Structure 1
Amino acid sequence: MRRLGSTRRTVRSVRAGGRRTGRAALAGAVCAAALAALTAVPAQAHQRPQWDVKDTGVFDVRFRGLAAVSRHTAWVAGTGGTVLRTTDGGTWRDVSPPDAGELEFRDIEAFDARRAVALSIGEGEASRVYRTEDGGATWTESFRNTDAHAFYDCLTFFDRRHGLAMSDPVDGRFRILSTSDGGRTWKVLPAAGMPAAQAGEAGFAASGQCLVSAGPRDVWLATGGAARARVLHSADRGLTWTAADAPVPAGDPARGVFGLAFRDRAHGLAVGGDYRPDQASPRAAARTADTGRTWRPADRPPPDYRSGVAWLPHSRSAALAVGPTGTDLTTDGGHTWRTVDTGSYDTVDCTPDLGCWAAGEQGRVARLER
């Protein structure tokens, strides 16, 4: 999904992300502290939040794209060209584009319950952007990649009109698409302001969080697959970029930064590691307090690879990270993380009205309850 403030994939009208089914508890005092920060109501601190798994009606789809609009409205996008939408907090409607059955949707950005932009990934013409203005009743294909060397991974929006999409390097530099009309039309930005890519460097289309924005102009791009994992930052909507090394596993095509989240333009979190289930990820998280110029490793990171991360609403210190082996919680701004659930999720997104959603394999979508 994004972004505004701490929510990765949703552009809102007011501007101020184990493989079990059923309910999985996010138990313990740490979770209660996060809930207190989430609600800002001390009397609720004794309550225990939990992932409430919603029945999507599909079991053969992996949802890596997620756009949380509110506690009641959310969009998910995944394999088989599948897009679902709920407007009542859990009854899902299939609103997939009719001609997208062979596509892999990996990111979706929603402006509200009716308007959304979805990105499919892949080489050449498999990378496409679709847009709807009527809740998914109809879709318009607004971009189709014609460069055989491009492979688009993620997209983000600064507001309802201005957004970017990113491709793996073409001719030695990451390629950036830009829109100024809400995704109706797209153009490739000049490459002159983009640093040269490392050998083998690319983005990971794992959670829709390899490209995220905060505020009207700042955007960050996560990389991996090379000798060093990096986070690139632009303060001018993608025209010029600077790169910083991130202290997460690197040196292999399966390692790097997979997901980013910024609660404002200064404070951000990075998660990643090695996505292969038989490989350890001992340093799977990092944090920044200077707009991404420098990154510090977590003092106690999640125990395994994590692909998605989101700040809890109205909190300056609490966030969730998700991956195939569980959900982790930080209450100190990313210094330390604690595993609070073992369910499998690929992406997570939170909204200002206290709605946090997660999505992943086997059609799993859940909302954080309290």
Structure 2
Amino acid sequence: MGPVVAALLGVLASGTGAGPAAATPAGQPAWQLKDTGRTDVRFRGLAAVDRSAAWLAGTKGTVLRTTDGGRRWRDVSPPAAAGLELRDIEAFDARRAVALAIGEGDASRIFRTDDGGATWTESFRNADPKAFYDCVAFFDSRHGLAMSDPVDGRFRILSTRDGGRSWSVLPSSGMPPAQSGEAGFAASGQCLVTSGPKDVWLATGGGASARVLHSADRGRTWTASATTVPAGDPARGVFGLAFRDRTHGIAVGGDYRADQPSPRAAAVTGDAGRTWTPSTAGPPAYRSGVAWLPRGRAGALAVGPTGTDLTTDGGRTWRTVDSGSYDTVDCTRDGGCWAAGEQGRAARLER
């Protein structure tokens, strides 16, 4: 366990830095809430750069940016995204970012900024009424992918080689057929994730089984594996993925409906997603986002509308450490962990 992970786990164990509005039981650890000034926006897109800088993307075409640890947030929303649902944002640093708007047909769009959000360029607008883009992810500052729900029976993959300035649809011949009703969930920006220069994973739900698809060649060919997370309903499946390297990953999800239970809401893999094992003591409810704690091999956080859970054994067992509502979570190498969600909520763990 590295020193940064130990420090973060110390925060979780002691509750040091808990904000007064964290809405957690007495004595329990909590996130430090950061006032975004936007209680009318739900932030499902989050890109943590470091402990000081982070980007949020949400409803009403909203993008916020902080460079001072969340003390102040600047509204840097793309003017052309007004009224759109921004569900994912990927940042290369505090000035360069790519944001994804979701929806049927031309509601699915991609925007890029190189100047901290002062100006944006629309680099992709979907022209296929059958496509619905859910998530975007990058391998490095140039190579990235975006994924759409199945079109003509297969998930559709967009590719960029210039940092999101231009996009092209990859051939579908290397993509296995989708199950009936199968789709991705644009719930946390984590239905498509990468690790290293070529590996990428895609999370699904809605079909007979909740699957994770893996590509080791930047999205040209894929293999599909069933997980132990329940599916069989449009509201159930894997909602978020996190890989600490090209073999070890965590999947979280369940049933997003508040009145439905979510047994077996987390699973782990040690073979790049070929097989998945359910957590022996999983989160108690649906979770939409997950992130590995930095500089460690066993610590991770999972978040959802009913709370945050911590694992210290690589995802095998979880315990709830906060009851606040969050949709997404992201951690950085310098020890910065951020979360965001409904009613403009944003938070950071303090050392």
The TM tier, using the shorter chain, reads over 0.9
Higher relative contact order, structure no. (Cα contacts within 8 Å, ≥ 6 residues apart): 1
Matched, 1:176 2:157: yes
In 2, distance between residues paired with 1:366 and 1:44?
14
Supply the AA of the counterpart residue of 2:143: H
Sort the Cα spacing of 1:351 and 1:242 in 2 relative to 1 into closer, same or farther, 3 A.
Answer: same
Contact 1:257 1:270 in 2 (8 A): yes
Sort the Cα spacing of 1:44 and 1:168 in 2 relative to 1 into closer, same or farther, 3 A.
Answer: closer
Sort the Cα spacing of 1:42 and 1:115 in 2 relative to 1 into closer, same or farther, 3 A.
Answer: closer
In 1, distance between residues paired with 2:279 and 2:346?
28
Supply the AA of the counterpart residue of 2:320: T
Identity %: 76
User: 1:227 Cα deviation (Å)?
Assistant: 0.6
2:41 match: 61
Alignment equivalent of 2:224, drawn from 210, 225, 243: 243
Supply the AA of the counterpart residue of 1:205: A
In 1, distance between residues paired with 2:289 and 2:12?
25
Contact 2:229 2:254 in 1 (8 A): yes
Q: Secondary structure, in 3 states, of the residue corresponding to 2:81? A: coil
2:303 match: 322
Residue correspondence of structure 1 range 283-362 to structure 2 within 5 A: 283-362=264-343
2:113 match: 132
Work out the number of aligned pairs and report it.
337
Question: Which 5+ residue runs of structure 2 have no aligned equivalent?
Answer: 17-29
Q: Secondary structure, in 3 states, of the residue corresponding to 2:60? A: helix
Residue correspondence of structure 1 range 188-267 to structure 2 within 5 A: 188-267=169-248
In 2, distance between residues paired with 1:66 and 1:226?
27
User: 1:39 Cα deviation (Å)?
Assistant: 4.3
Q: Secondary structure, in 3 states, of the residue corresponding to 1:369? A: coil
Sort the Cα spacing of 1:298 and 1:70 in 2 relative to 1 into closer, same or farther, 3 A.
Answer: same
1:85 match: 65
In 2, distance between residues paired with 1:256 and 1:238?
21
Supply the AA of the counterpart residue of 1:209: Q
User: 1:315 Cα deviation (Å)?
Assistant: 1.0
Q: Secondary structure, in 3 states, of the residue corresponding to 2:159? A: strand
1:236-275 per-residue CA deviation (whole Å, 9 max, x = no partner) reads 0000000000101110000000000000000000000000
User: 1:102 Cα deviation (Å)?
Assistant: 1.0
Supply the AA of the counterpart residue of 1:217: K
1:89-117 per-residue CA deviation (whole Å, 9 max, x = no partner) reads 01100000112111000000000010000
Contact 1:83 1:96 in 2 (8 A): yes
Contact 2:8 2:349 in 1 (8 A): no
Contact 2:12 2:321 in 1 (8 A): no
Question: Which 5+ residue runs of structure 1 have no aligned equivalent?
Answer: 1-33
In 2, distance between residues paired with 1:42 and 1:112?
26
In 2, distance between residues paired with 1:155 and 1:100?
16
In 2, distance between residues paired with 1:369 and 1:226?
40
Sort the Cα spacing of 1:369 and 1:187 in 2 relative to 1 into closer, same or farther, 3 A.
Answer: same
Contact 1:270 1:286 in 2 (8 A): yes
Q: Which portions of structure 1, spanning 4 or more consecutive aligned residues, are displaced by more than 2 angstroms?
A: 34-37, 39-50
RMSD between aligned residues: 1.7
User: 1:152 Cα deviation (Å)?
Assistant: 0.0
User: 1:35 Cα deviation (Å)?
Assistant: 9.1
TM-score of the superposition, structure 2-length normalised? 0.93
Residue correspondence of structure 1 range 8-27 to structure 2 within 5 A: none
Supply the AA of the counterpart residue of 1:215: G
1:75 match: 55
1:277 match: 258
Contact 1:36 1:44 in 2 (8 A): no
Supply the AA of the counterpart residue of 1:310: A
